[in-house]
Copies of this chain bind each other. A is one copy, B any other.
Amino acid sequence: MELTNILIGQSGGPTAVINSTLAGAVAAAKESGKIGHVYGMLNGIKGYLEGRKTDLLDLTEEELRLLKTTPAAYLGSCRFKLPKELSDPLYAEIFRRLEEDNIGYVLYIGGNDSMDTADKLSQYAASVGSDIRIIGVPKTIDNDLTGTDHTPGYGSAAKFVAAQVRQIVLDAEVYRQDAVTIVEIMGRNAGWLTAAASLARKYEGDNPVLIYLPEVDFDPEDMLRRIREALKERHAVVVCVSEGIHDKDGILICELTQGVTKDVFGNKQLSGCGKVIEQMVRVRLGVKVRSVELNVTQRCNAVEASLTDVEEAFECGRQGVFAALEGKTGCMISMEREEGEEYRIVYTAKPVGEISNEVRGVPTEWITEDLADVKEAFAAYALPLIQGESRPPMKDGLPVFLYRKDPNHKA
C-alpha cells in the first residue's frame, strides 16, 4: 500500500525557533517509516491554496541541522483566517488539493489564528468523513496561548529581552547625570516578554526600576511620581514598558499623541508608547530622556536563542507527527510542566477547539500591588525557559542560516 504524505505549514509572525519545530517534524516523519513525502506549504494555507508547496525530503542532513537554528519562517508565512462557515467552498477546495497530494496528515505551526485554522480544518474533515489528521503545533513569542505551560519562541525572545535590558542598563549608567531610559518591549495584549526585563536585574533594587505590563491599567501620573522618587537615589532610571499598555479607560498609551501629531504630508505620525512616555518624561520632569524600542530583533534573534526553547520547539514538531500517526486529530501539542523542584515538560495533545482565542496574560497575582513590577513567581516560571545557549554555525564572522529565495522573489 502506498504511504500517505504529510503536509506542514508555518503561519503567523516569525520567531527564532519556528524552524526548529519544522526540523523536528521533518525528522520524525522521516524516521517513522510510515510517511511518504514530507511537503511544506509555501506561505501557509494561503500559499497552498495557490498550489505552492515544496518537498522537504530534498533537504540534506546538513540543511536540516541548519534549519533547526535558523530564525523566521523557512516556508514563508501568511496571515489568513479561514471562513467561519464550513459550507464555504474554500474548504472543499483545500480538501480537494489534500486528496490530490495524497495527504494523510497536516501539521500547522502557529499562534492563535493558526490553531483556529487547525480547528476548522479538523471540523471540516469530520463533517465530510475525511480521515486526514490535523494537528496544531504552538509557536508565539507572546506566550499568550492557553492550554500550554508556555509556547515555543517565548523562551528565546525572553532571553534576548533580558540580556539586552541588562546591557542597556549598563549603557545607561555610565554617565553621572540624571537620565531616564524607556525600553519598549513587544506584547500588545500580554506582558510576558516585558516581564522578562525583570530577569535583567543583577542585584536587588537594580534597574530596570519600573516595569509596566498591559494586564493592568497604566497610570502616567503614578509613573512620573515613581521616576521622580527613583531619581533621588540614582542617576539613571530605566523603565520597561509593554507596547500595549493602556490607561484606566482602556486607551492605548501609544495612541495618546496620534490625534495631534502630523508629519509634513499631513498624515498621522505613528509612534510607539515608548516615544510617548519619553516625551511625557521630558516635558513633565525636565530630565534627559531617551527611548529604545527593541522591535523585531526580539523575535528574530537566533544567535542568542535559548537552547531549552530550541529543543522544546524541535520536540513539539516531533510530537505533532507522533500524535498524527497515532490517529489523533483536531489537537494542539501542549507542554505541561510537572510539579517539583526540577523543571520537566510532558508533551500532550489537547483538543484544539479547547484552545480558546482568548489571550492568556501574565496572572495579575504575579504583578506587584503598585502595578509597576512583577513578583518572584514570574522568575520561577520564566528562568527555566531561557537556560542554555543555542548558537547557529558561524562563517566569516556571521551566522549561517538556511533560506529559500523564492517566497520573496516574484516569478
Contact = CB atoms under 8 A, between A and B. Distances in A.
A257 B275 CA distance: 15
Contact of A296 (B171, B283, B389): B171
Copies in the complex: 2
Interface string A255-270: 0110111111101010
A269 B275 contact: yes
5 contacts: A42-B176, A162-B398, A170-B403, A292-B297, A303-B303
A225 interface: no
A201 to B, nearest CB: 10
Given A294-B297, A297-B297, 8 more contacts: A72-B174, A199-B396, A234-B409, A235-B409, A256-B264, A260-B264, A303-B303, A304-B304
Contact of A167 (B232, B271, B302): B302
Contacts of A405: 203
Contacts of A234: 408-410
Interface stretch (A76-84, A95-103, A318-326, A359-367): A76-84
A20 to B, nearest CB: 14
Contact of A397 (B79, B159, B399): B159
Interface in A249-292: 256-257, 259-265, 267, 269, 271, 275-276, 279-280, 282-283, 292
Interface in A192-211: 199-200, 202-203
Given A275-B269, A297-B292, A410-B234, A397 B386 contact: yes
Given A261-B262, A293-B293, A407 B279 contact: no
Contacts of A164: 297, 301
A168 B299 CA distance: 9
A233 interface: yes
Contact of A292 (B173, B232, B296): B296
Nearest to A75: B174
Interface string A169-189: 011011110000000000000
Contacts of A383: 396-397
B386 A306 contact: no
A283 to B, nearest CB: 5
B267 A263 contact: no
A56 to B, nearest CB: 17
Interface residues of A, number: 84
A152 interface: no
A387 B410 CA distance: 34
Nearest to A308: B397
A295 interface: yes
A285 to B, nearest CB: 12
A401 interface: yes
B170 A76 contact: no
Contacts of A245: none
A166 B398 contact: yes
A313 interface: no
B279 A265 contact: yes
* Top 7 A-B residue pairs of the complex, sorted by shortest distance between their CB atoms: A72-B170, A386-B397, A171-B300, A173-B408, A77-B174, A167-B300, A73-B174
